[in-house]
Amino acid sequence: MFPGGQPDMAQLLKQAQQMQQQLAAAQEQLAQETVTGSAGGGLVTATMTGQGELSAVTIAPEAVDPADVETLQDLVVAAVRDASRQVNELTASRMGPLAGGLGGGGLGLPGL
């Protein structure tokens, strides 16, 4: 039971529509942003969109050693992981406040 009686369904729908619009706007903003991860002191960089799509990998010439390909491979993986971590942080910062409205009765409903 809700304090004060039944919830106002029109108000709940309006709040849900507003949250949906805010989430869509945040997703659109994320799509426009990029992050760059790096490894090896910048020898390898990986650029990703805010949606997590890998868009570029840059490798400095001095990182290329034909006798040690494994190190270069490790640097590429580390740079992509760093960029992915930054995408996760960016997403959390943009979407976190909006998703927080879903918990703790954000719509005035228990469990939502």
What is the DSSP code string of 5-50? SS--HHHHHHHHHHHHHHHHHHHHHHHH-EEEEEETTTTEEEEEET
Whether residue 10 lies inside any domain: the answer is no
Q: Express each pLDDT in 85-108 by its tens digit.
A: 999 999 888 887 776 555 444 444
CATH number of the CATH domain containing 86: 3.30.1310.10
Domain tally, the chain: 1
Judge whether 77 and 37 are in contact, CB under 8 Å.
no
Q: Express each pLDDT in 23-37 by its tens digit.
A: 888 888 888 899 999
Whether residue 59 lies inside any domain: the answer is yes
Which tokens sit at 50? 């805010």
Nearest residue to 51 via CA among 91, 102, 3: 91
Note down the domain range covering 40. Answer: 33-94
pTM: 0.69
Angle in degrees, CA 84, 90, 93, rounded to 5 = 145
